[in-house]
Every structure is written in structure tokens, then in C-alpha cells.
Amino acid sequence: MAAPGTAPIQIALDSSAASADTDELLTAILRSYPRASDVIFSPGRGPQVQSEGKFLAVEIPGSACLTADDTRRIASELIGSNKAAIAMLREQGYCDLSYGVAGVARFRVNVFIQRSSCAVVMRVIPTDIPELKALGTPEQLRDMVSLCSGLVLVTGPRGSGKSSTLAALINHINETEECHIITVEDPIEFLHIHKRATVHQRELHSDTPSISQALRAALRQASNVIVVGELKDHEEMELALEAAETGHLVLSTFNTLTAPQAVERFVSAFPAAEQANVRERLERMLRYVICQRLIRRQQDSKRVAVYEIVRCHLHLPTQASEQEQNALGAGECSRLDGELEALVRQGQISREAALEQALEPAKLLRKLSLCENPLTRD
């Protein structure tokens, strides 16, 4: 929800919102609020942006709320002649596509039907590819370029920055390794140019009919690194595992909160009779699980990334080690919660924000309370 007292954004257009070209409208919105992460067009209200987790109204002087005709026109201009997106919208009630405004930004677009009218949600994709150091990722991720094969999963809740981390990993490999990278995305987000590596990006529907077919093809395309925007079903997971087993480095994302949850989701996607075998294969091929969160800083409206890097070596992160279990039982925090504790002590984030994101909030609260009241220690 929007923060109380947040003033609406006012933008100036050469024409009303109803008659403005979609590119003109998007350009004006992002010029007025360059840190926007999402733009929303919905019938019955004006445009909105989401920035640093807050929803803000966009006011256009002289313009009323968007009508169903307005949002239908915006959707039509975004979809253009994309026949696959048009068919998907008609058959399934929604469609995903990428869109760009030259010199302004690229967008990951979702158009969907609600109450027999169109609504549009657009994720803003920065034109500059983020670097690992700028994202604040731990140094050990730089070691990933030495991997010749295996599976790397980036996990976290929606809106935690997984796409940015994945793009930064691709860019790091692109800058440091002479190899062939193939990405399969729905839709393409960050645009990667050839550097030391050769990069080919394939988009679902426009370049390939399915993620599975693109993965099968990638095995025959002399690829060294295969990137899948998100692994969604057991067929895609099986092909990703097969690619890792045949000498490819496979990167992908999961919408899970922890490394154990990522492993269990991967294994449980397969029929029960296959799960033991899949777990054994995953134990051999899983290299890293990168868990992340985005948390609002205390001193400004920006958010700071918190990472837990689980390096997998001959065992899956399905449970804590005996030593870790003993420590947790004694009131110690998990690795992610330890990072949250450190940020609270440094004054970067509030205790409330840390507890909201913690895996073990009760244990983190005890640690923070002991820090604030040292005389209460045993």
C-alpha cells in the first residue's frame, strides 16, 4: 500500500492522457519518477507507479481517470502486431511481452482482462545492465565464472530483484569468459550485447513456441551457458538438469524464500516414483542457491539487497547441519537473518523491517534484544 501522506506525482503532457501516445505517456511518467519499478494502467483511476515498494498516483492536470477505452488503446499500442500475444490474450485472458521506448526504458508487460476490460502492468527494466558489485552481492559469486557445468538457482519472493541478479551474473560471464551464452526468457528483459562471450537471447512465443523446445535446441547449439528466466514445470526442470549433467552451466530463478524450499520445489515437481532419483541427480549438479530480499533503508526511500549464498558441495541444502541446528536451537540466527541483524546494528534498516523479512523472527528478535540490553544476558 502507498505510504500515508505520499503526494501524487504530477506530470505534464502536450495532450490529455486519453489522447496521448503511449510512448509519450510513459516517457513523461518516467521523467517525473525515474526510480519507478512498475507502471500500472487500470480503468477507473489514473496511472500509478510503484517505486521502492510504494504505490504512487500519477496526476495529469486536465485529465480524468482512465476509461476502459483508454486502457484498451494502451494495450493495443503495446501489443502492436504481436500475433502470439494477441492469440494468448484472446485464449487465456492475459499475455506477456516486452516493449521498449527508445532512449527511455524497456518494459516487461503483462496485459490482462478484468471485468471485461483491459488492465496493464509494466515492469521497468533499466537500460544499463547492473554489475554484481553495484548490487552488493557477496564476493564469492565472482567465483561462479570458474564453473564449467552445474545448476545455479536465484531465489526470492516476487519483486526481490532476482532478474537483476541474473542479468548481472550473465554480464559478469559475458565480460570475463570466451563462451556461448543462450538465454530463454518470457519475455526478454535486459538486452546483452556480445563482449568476450557470444550471447543469443530467445523470447517465448516470438522466437520459440515453448521453453522446453528452446532448452532442447540449446543442447544442440554449442552452448556453454544456458539461462532460463524461470523454471516452471517438471519438463523444464528435467531438461535443465540434463543440460547441467551434459557439461552446461545452467542459471535460473525460483520464487521460493529459502534454499531448502527451492530444492523441495524442484524435487516435488516430478512424479513420486522419480523423486529419489531426481534428488540424487540434483545433489550432484546443484552448485549455488542465491537467496535474496530487498528491504527499505531507514535513511531514505531506497532499498538495500540482502543475500544468503548457499554453496552446494556433495549435499543438498535441505536441512541445517548438526552444528547449525545446535546453534539455532541456542538462539543463533540463520545466515540470512544474520545479515539482517548486521544491517540493523549498522543502522541501515529498522528492526521492524528486519523482523518482517526474517526466516526465524523470534530468534532474530532475541538476538537484537540482547544487543540492545546486554545486562539481560545469562
Domains and CATH numbers, the chain: 9-125 (3.30.450.90), 132-319 (3.40.50.300), 326-372 (no CATH)
Determine the residue type at 8: P
- What residues pair up with 294 in beta bridges, in sequence order? 305
Cα–Cα distance between 218 and 202 in angstroms, integer? 10
DSSP secondary structure letters along 273-319: GGHHHHHHHHHHHEEEEEEEEEEE-SSSS-EEEEEEEEE-SSS-TTS
| Residue of 331 and 197 predicted with greater confidence | 197
Average pLDDT over the chain, rounded to an integer: 85
% of the chain surpassing 70 pLDDT: 86
Q: Is the pLDDT of residue 26 over 90?
A: yes
Q: What is the DSSP letter of 19?
A: T
Per-residue pLDDT at 145 = 72
Residue 314 banded pLDDT, cuts 50, 70, 90: low
Residue 293 CB-half CA count within 13 A:
21
Q: Is 60 exceeded by the pLDDT of residue 264?
A: yes
- Please report which residue ranges of 206-286 form alpha helices under DSSP H: 211-218, 234-245, 259-268, 275-285
Confidence check: pLDDT of 13 > 60: no
Query: What integer is the mean pLDDT of 157-174?
Result: 92
> Each residue of 126-165: pLDDT tens digit?
878 989 888 888 888 877 777 889 999 999 988 888 999 9
* pLDDT of 378: 42
> What's the predicted TM-score (pTM) here?
0.79
